[in-house]
Structure 1
C-alpha cells in the first residue's frame, strides 16, 4: 500500500525558500532558522524532511539510521519526492540522517562517514541529527567564520558520541563533517569550519 503524502505546495518556491534558510544557517553557524513549508514524512521531523526536499535529488546517496530504514512512509516519500537512494554505505553518503529515536543507541563514532579530501573537501558527508530541543539541554560555544566573537547554543539531550563529534568540529578543517541539528521545524547548522566548546 502506498504511503505517499504531500510535500511542498509550491515545489519550486518552497524549495528555494528552504535552501535560502539552510544557506543562512550554514553561513551563520548557530543561528536558528525555521522550515515550515510541509509536514514530516512518517516519523521524520518536518525540518528533516524539508532539508532532504531542498538538498537531495536522484544523484544524492543517503544513509539513514535504523528507525528511518524501518519507516516505510518515510522511505517511500523520500524516493517519490527526491528520487534519492536511501541505502548508501556511511562512507559514500552525501547526507546521513539520524532519527531522534536512535540517538540513545547509535554509535556514530564507529561509522566511517566521508570527511572529504584535500582536493575535494566539500564532498564530505553532511550529518542531519534530530534532537529533542534547540532551546534547552547541552550548551555549546561556537567560534569561527560567520560568527562575530562567539555564539552560544543549546542542542537538547545528546548522546556521548554526538558530543564527541561536535567537540572535534573545526580540528580537521577544511576536512570534516557539516552538522545540521533539527528539532520539529527548527534547524541549527554547525559547518566543519566552526570550532565548538562545551559550556
Structure 2
C-alpha cells in the first residue's frame, strides 16, 4: 500500500483510527519477499522448522509468526477467517495492512487463522477445493503451544527424504485421524501452517502422519 493510500485511509472519518494502528513490515516489499521465501521452504520440506527472517508490528491477538504470515499471504482476493472473539485490533490491523475480507465461516476463507487459545475448526469444514480447481482450498495457519515439545509426529511424503520428526503441543484431540481423512481427499483437502512464536512449519495435504 502506498504512503498516499495510507494517509488517505488514516484521515478518513470513521476509519477506526488508522493512525493508531501498529505498523506492518518496516520494508513491506523486501520483508514480505523474505517471509514468502521462508514459507515456500516450509512447504517444500514439510515438518522442517523455519524462523521468521524479519519482524513486524504485532497486534493484540496475533503472534509474531501469524502476523508475518498473514502480512505476506493475505490480500484483497484472499478471504481470512478469524475466531469470533479475536480482539478488534487484530481485525483492524489486517483490514488496513492486507485489505483482506474477513469472513464469518471457515468454509468461505482462503486462510483460516487460529490464534493461541482458540479452537481449530474441523478440517472438513474448511474449503476443500474443487475437482477441477484443487488449489481453491484453504490453508490453515494455526498457533500451537510449542513446536519444540509435545506429541511426537513422524511425517512422510513428498519433500521428505525418509521421515521427518516433528513435536507439537497444542493440536486438538483427534488430529491424527482428521489429518488422515484429509490425506484421503487428495487432490482436494487443506494445507497447514503450524506456528509458535517466531517459528513455523508446514504440512501439505500429501504429508502423511505415521502411527
Give the alignment's TM-score, normalised by structure 1: 0.90
Is the contact between residue 167 and residue 197 of structure 1 (CA under 8 Å) also seen in structure 2?
A: no
Is the contact between residue 61 and residue 88 of structure 1 (CA under 8 Å) also seen in structure 2?
A: no
Counterpart CA distance in 2 for 1:154 and 1:167 is 18
Counterpart CA distance in 2 for 1:151 and 1:143 is 7
Task: State the match for 1:22 in structure 2.
Answer: 39
Higher strand fraction: Structure 1 or Structure 2?
Answer: 2
Tell me if 1:5 matches 2:26.
no
Shift of the alpha carbon at 1:110? 7.9
Give the alignment's TM-score, normalised by structure 2: 0.85
Task: State the match for 2:138 in structure 1.
Answer: 125
Q: Which has the larger radius of gyration?
A: 2
Structure 2 segments unaligned to the other structure (5+ residues) = 1-15
Question: What count of residue pairs does the alignment treat as equivalent?
Answer: 193
Shift of the alpha carbon at 1:50? 0.8
Task: State the match for 2:13 in structure 1.
Answer: none
Counterpart CA distance in 2 for 1:20 and 1:194 is 20
The CA deviation string for residues 91-113 of structure 1, in whole angstroms up to 9 with x for no partner, is 2210001121113xx5x228621
Aligned partner of 2:148 among 127, 131, 135:
135
C-alpha spacing 1:12/1:85, structure 2 compared with 1 (3 Å): same
Is the contact between residue 154 and residue 166 of structure 2 (CA under 8 Å) also seen in structure 1?
A: yes
Is the contact between residue 136 and residue 155 of structure 1 (CA under 8 Å) also seen in structure 2?
A: yes
Aligned partner of 1:50 among 68, 74, 88:
68
The CA deviation string for residues 72-106 of structure 1, in whole angstroms up to 9 with x for no partner, is 11011000000001124222210001121113xx5
C-alpha spacing 1:41/1:163, structure 2 compared with 1 (3 Å): farther
Counterpart CA distance in 1 for 2:190 and 2:23 is 31
Partner secondary structure for residue 180 of structure 1: strand
Task: State the match for 1:72 in structure 2.
Answer: 88
Shift of the alpha carbon at 1:161? 4.4
Deviates more, 1:15-24 or 1:41-50: 41-50
Task: State the match for 1:113 in structure 2.
Answer: 126
Is the contact between residue 123 and residue 190 of structure 2 (CA under 8 Å) also seen in structure 1?
A: no
Aligned partner of 1:41 among 55, 59, 63:
59
Tell me if 1:100 matches 2:96.
no
Aligned partner of 1:31 among 44, 48, 54:
48
Shift of the alpha carbon at 1:133? 0.4
